[in-house]
């Protein structure tokens, strides 16, 4: 894992610590290599929001 990936995981783990129940955080604690799963989930959510926004903007025109 490179330095950028470690920083990414550390930043998101702080955010997720506030959003997720502690049991989920304990499940992923010490498993930094699983940051890919989190990244994919967040990317998918972002893509859904972007595609929904794009449809809204086009409908408004």
Reduce the secondary structure of the chain to three states and give it as a string: CCHHHHHHHHHHHHHHHHHCCHHHHHHHCCCHHHHHHHHHHHHHHHHHHHHHHHHHHHHHC
**pLDDT for 58:** 55
Could you report the per-residue pLDDT of 21-52, keeping only the tens digit for each? 777 667 666 666 677 777 788 888 777 766 66
User: Where in the sequence is the domain holding 51, given as residue range(s)?
Assistant: 3-60
Whether 12 and 35 have beta carbons less than 8 Å apart is answered as yes
**pLDDT for 36:** 76
In total, how many domains does the chain have? 1
**pLDDT for 1:** 64
């Amino acid at each position: 894992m490179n330095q950028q990936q470690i920083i990414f995981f550390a930043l998101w783990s702080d955010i997720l610590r506030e959003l997720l129940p502690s049991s989920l955080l304990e499940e992923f604690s010490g498993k930094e290599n699983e940051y890919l799963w989190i990244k994919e989930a967040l990317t998918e959510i972002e893509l859904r929001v972007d595609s929904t926004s794009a449809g809204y903007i086009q409908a408004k025109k």
